[in-house]
Amino acid sequence: MGKGKREMVKEPKKNKNKRMSNVEIESKRKIVKRTFFTVIALVIIFIIAMIANNYIILDKNETTNLIINNKNVTSDLRNDIIIEDDIIYLSEADVSNFFDKHIYYDEESNKIITTYEKKIAEIGFDENLININGSDKEIYAHAIERDGEVYLPVSEMADVYDVEIQNILETKVITMDSLDREQKRAIINKNTAVKSSSNFISRTVDRVEKGEAVIVISTDGKFSRIRTSDGKIGIVKSNRLENEFNIRENMEDEKQVKGKINLTWDYFSEYASAPDRSGTTIDGVNVVSPAFFYLDTDGELEENVGIEGQAYIEWAHNNDYKVWPMVSNAVAANESLDITSNIMNSYEKRKELIEDIVEKCVEYDLDGINIDFENMYEEDKDMYSRFIIELTPRLKEIGMVTSVDVTAPDGGETWSLCFDRNVIGDVADYIVFMAYDQNGVSSTKPGTTAGYNWINLNLIKFLQTEDIDSEKIILGIPFYTRMWTTNSSGDIISRGTVDMKEIDRVLPSGVEKTWDNELKQNYVEYMDGANKKQIWIEDVDSLKAKVSLVVENKLAGVASWRKDMESDDVWQMLKAELSEQ
């Protein structure tokens, strides 16, 4: 190397990446350390939680809980539960919500009227007394009023609502179990926690010990929902249950009539006697409704049974026909509006009429009643519903069927608007839609008595607008039609009723029948001198089309107005069409 020059010696570079790696390692060590202790802490917390969850009840009730048929309905309560002197009170609003949506305060008697299944009860605000189905019973409380709310002593009304009531003071739980519903019990085979859900981590709602009996609400494979003796509802593993047994079975009233109802009205006036049907049968019919009962001009229930009627009942029962006689308000003609109104607007008068009906049912060994009240004030609609609400449980108590006739929901105030079809359909066993007189005695122009399209439209209203169970609807069909006569100006001269069996006799020979596919019936018109004759014919074909609506809409059956108007071939058709279902 030359003079004056210094030799440059390169120092080795420091390993910067190596220093960073050491820092990372140290940092990772700290993270691992922290994570380790965090995991340990979580495990400890989890173990503590699991221990606490298994051995500590976490959901102590701050207020009284109400369990109805194994469902906690406390959140649905509209008012507080009152407990005084061991009497449990529920507000009228809550009784309405849970038991009787038709509960009613009667101003005339200052009593609460409540119905449930086979019971009607009245309870006042002064005496410790309740009347159930016409019989007085002493109890330890009465209705009370608190902060503007009416309360009923439900613990004294268990017979009315057919429930078993238990007040579990230790856990602040009241249970109410319907005595007509199935209830299962089982024995716990191992000490276990009752959980709020089947999730792995869930709170404990109760503890049950080996040998303890519990109510089994439902079982879904591995898990079962139970109710403990403390009234707590929760989940246990199904293998914790053994010796499951039923302490109650579901109690359902069997329908009187198996399959579709085929009812025929057997009408005769109050001045006539029941027809002599001995030695005859009506093929396919399973219910007959003779005109046995009616209201007189004083509003009293009168009968037209007699020896002939008793023979009629015997004939019907010998042929396995159920007997649901008519109770009519139509005998008083133009006076029926006021007579019916007078009864409907008084609880005592309604009760008296109901008692009379019940007595007649028992006296004559009937199977049910057909209420045929027509021509009523629109403003009495709710009171007429009250009559049906109060009548039905009394008839159910003695095994009787309640059927109620109503018109189409498209007519006038006293003919159509006087019925609350939704309530009647909800309460009665059957609601009978009298699907005829689409054009009747008050019509201003000729027309069909019962067109298929009109019936179908009104059935939609029954099912959808009125929200009636299809299996409660009986379709009334006519065994008659009308012969309309109009003059050259189109004015109606007459509108005479023609029985089905007489149609071919009244029509001139050679007249042409034209099938109307919209109405689904034959139509005839012809000239009689200067006047026009028109008739929309009811025959087997038109009735078969109507009956198809029963099948399509899964209705309860048919009712025909009336016996002895029909042609002979109609019964075989009805039997065939209805028996297919």
Please say whether the beta carbons of 350 and 344 come within 8 A. yes
- 42 or 385: which leads in pLDDT: 385
Give one DSSP letter per residue of 119-164, joined into a string.
EEEEE-SSSSEEEETTEEEE-S---EEETTEEEE-GGG-HHHHTEE
Q: What is this structure's pTM?
A: 0.90
**What is the rounded average pLDDT for all residues in the chain?**
92
What are the strands of the beta sheet with 144-146, ordered from one edge?
82-84, 87-91, 149-152, 144-146
Specify whether domain 65-167 bears CATH 3.10.180.10.
no
**Given a cut of 50, is residue 104 above it in pLDDT?**
yes
**Segments making up each domain of the chain, as ranges:** 65-167, 182-248, 261-479+539-579
Span 7-20, average pLDDT: 47
Q: In what order do the strands lie in the sheet with 213-220?
A: 204-208, 192-195, 233-237, 223-227, 213-220, 183-188, 241-248
Q: Nearest CA to 388 among 366, 373, 407? A: 373
pLDDT of residue 41: 65
Q: Which CATH architecture is the domain 182-248 placed in?
A: Roll (2.30)
**How far, in Å, CA of 229 to CA of 223, rounded?**
19
Position 24 scores a pLDDT of: 63
Tell me how far apart the alpha carbons of residues 22 and 58 are, in angstroms, rounded to a whole number.
50
What integer pLDDT is reported at residue 4 of this predicted model?
A: 43
pLDDT value at 14 more than 60: no
**Hey, what CATH class is 261-479+539-579 in?**
alpha beta
Q: In this predicted structure, what is the pLDDT of residue 58?
A: 47
Distant-in-sequence, close-in-space partners of 309: CB < 8 Å, separation ≥ 6: 273, 274, 290, 292, 303, 364
pLDDT tens, residue by residue, 436-452: 999 999 999 999 999 99
Distance CA 473, CA 470 (A): 5
Q: Give Cα separations from 43 to 30, 32, 48, 508, 519 (angstroms).
A: 20, 16, 8, 100, 79
**Mean pLDDT confidence for 17-27:** 58
Show the tokens assigned to 103: 């509960």
pLDDT in tens, 126-155: 999 999 999 999 999 999 999 999 999 999
Tokens of 67: 């369990």
Write down the pLDDT at residue 501: 98
Buried b (16+ CB within 10 A) or exposed e, 24-60: eeeeeeeeeeeeeeeeeeeeeeeeeeeeeeeeeeeee
Q: Bin 200: left if φ > 0, else alpha if -120 < ψ < 50, else beta.
A: alpha
